[in-house]
Amino acid sequence: MQFYRAELVSDLNIPVDTTVKLESLRESVVPPCLMLMPFIEVPDEIVVEGQEALDEDGVHGCVYSLRAAAAYDGEVVVGFRDMQTEKITHQKVIHITASSRKGWGERWSTSGSPG
Amino acid sequence: MNRKAAEPIDALVSQLADYYAQGTLASDEAAADLPPVVDHRASQSPVKNQGTRGTCVAHAAMGLIEAFPHIPGDLSEQYTHYKFNEFLHWPHNLNQGLMTTKAAPYLARADGRISLEAEWPYIPVQATIDQMVEMGTYGPPPAARNNQIYGISSYKIITDQGLTGESIKNTRYLESLLHLGYSIVIGTWVSWDDKDNDGVLDPVLDPNGNPIGRGGHAMLVVGYNRPEEYLMIKNSWAPSWGHDGYAYFHYDLVRSCFKYGFVADQVVPGDGEPVRTCWCKRLLDSIRQFFGCGGPGT
């Protein structure tokens, strides 16, 4: 399964009916960023199938499993909210393309994962 | 429990098994002969500042080693974190943190030895490191590479076994270890209201009693105050944070948020061993490690 780090990518290409892992942004656990909750905003065509916490101490973050349920060309947003103030503290917009074109997945997968 | 030549820890602490076997919520009548307060802060190295990087595990682990009287009080967290990334086959500049309990076996490896801070000073800003990597100038200076000396030779991992027995959530077990002179590196969920950091910190929990904060952080437990029900914990967020850089964690925070930890029974070099290793010993250690024969930490 392809693995991407949100802080390193600005474009994601996912063949329809394929699942990829996307690591959220990462923030060090130091004041004032002590109680942050990662979030992701996706359109209906992209399904968040799971969310796993990072094993590591020292950083906030998680890994999402994303599946493209239908063709789509647009954006997803990842970031953090402060759990006490509910305010967004960090965010990044990632362009996402979900395509059902035959052969697209093979071409895409050989382009390598930044992670 | 995972152990590595740590029988002395078990032999010692088992003398207090009657005390900690009852668990953290037992009444105080069975307080054995443990003093009400144990405070090892006077024997700690100065509180440091990890800056904006996720290097709490390196800081907590170095704090543990530096607390041994014969070890210098300023080891290189910079080199420690660099080695953690190397052992995980991660890019050297990745700001990814580390599962706290992995630090013990890493620092027990023959190639896991650390130099003095002066030989590779800490870089508090991640962007500086990223820039150095881009320029191809990031890595341990020769002085640090030639003086990889300090590490752990014997440790015990403490897992979450609930509120009784040898568990990281059992304050009676932690008190027993502290009473015997150990300091404890812990990994905890950060789920407290930090504006209260100059008091005793309570947990912030959801209606089911689980921590709301899901960021992990490593620190060093160095004392307890049983009448007031808190642990004294050395942090790495500068001396201006908390009680001169230390946190007071209420036992409820320990019971709900501690994940795991470890203690070290022996460090490298041992007390009385020569501090400097000669080039031939380092070469011998490398050859042993290459052929899988084990070094001093295996």
Q: ipTM of this model?
A: 0.86
- Which of A31, A32, A59 is opposite residue B96, by nearest beta carbon? A59
Considering CB atoms only, which of B51, B97, B193 is closest to A59?
B97
Residue in B84, B2, B43, B66 with CA at minimum distance from that of residue B222: B43
Contacts 24+ apart (CB under 8 A), B30-35: B31/B226, B34/B175, B34/B176, B34/B179, B34/B226, B35/B179
Give the residue, B167 or B11, on which the prediction is more confident. Answer: B167
- pLDDT value of residue B168: 98
pLDDT(B18) > 90? no
C-alpha angle B190-B194-B196 in degrees, rounded to nearest 5: 130
In the predicted model, what is the mean pLDDT of residues B184-191? Answer: 97
**Residues of B with Cβ-Cβ distance to A84 under 8 angstroms:** 193
User: What proportion of chain B, given as a percentage, has pLDDT over 70?
Assistant: 88
Which residues are A19's β-sheet partners? A67
Which domains are seen in chain A, by residue range?
3-102 (2.60.40.2020)
* Alpha carbon distances (Å) from B232 to B37, B57, B217: 10, 17, 15
Q: What is the pLDDT of residues B255-292, one digit of tens each?
A: 999 999 999 999 999 887 765 544 444 555 566 666 66
CA nearest to B185, candidates B234, B139, B125? B234
Tell me what the pLDDT averaged over chain A comes to.
Answer: 88
- Residue A42 has phi, psi (to 5 degrees) of -130, 155
* Confidence label for A106 from pLDDT (cuts 50, 70 and 90): very low
The full 3-state SS of B74-107, as one line of letters, equals CECHHHHHHHHHHHCCCCCCCCCCECHHHHHHHH
Distance to chain A for B237, nearest Cα, Å: 7
CA angle A9, A10, A14 (to 5 degrees): 80
Closest chain A residue to B59 measured between Cα atoms? A58
**Contacts of the segment B238-242: beta carbons below 8 A, 24+ positions apart:** B238/B47, B238/B48, B238/B49, B239/B46, B239/B47, B241/A31, B241/B197, B242/B197, B242/B198
The separation between CA B228 and the C-alpha centre of its own chain, rounded to angstroms, equals 24
Q: Locate the chain A residue with the closest alpha carbon to B186.
A: A57
Q: What is the mean pLDDT of residues B114-118?
A: 98
* Per-residue pLDDT at B148 exceeds 80: yes
Angle at B117 between CA B112 and CA B123, to 5 degrees: 95
pTM value? 0.87
Residue A85 at interface with chain B, using a CB cutoff of 8 Å: no
> Which residue in chain B is spatially nearest to A60 when comparing CA positions?
B215
The C-alpha of B58 sits at a distance from chain A's nearest C-alpha, in angstroms, of 10
Query: Which residues of chain B does A54 touch, with a Cβ-Cβ cutoff of 8 Å?
Result: 97, 216
| Shortest CA gap A16–chain B (Å) | 30
Taking contacts as CB-CB distances below 8 angstroms, the residues of chain A near B190 are 29, 34-35
pLDDT value at position B6?
Answer: 60
| Binary contact (A30, B237; C-beta < 8 A) | yes
Least confident of A30-39, B28-37, B156-165, B262-271: B28-37
Share of chain B above pLDDT 90, in %: 76
- Which of the residues A5, A33, A55, A57 would you substitute to probe the B interface, choosing the one with the greatest number of B C-beta atoms within 10 Å? A57
CATH topology of domain B3-290: Cathepsin B; Chain A (3.90.70)
Name the pLDDT band for B101 (thresholds 50, 70, 90).
very high
Out of B14-28, B36-50, B115-129, least confident range: B14-28
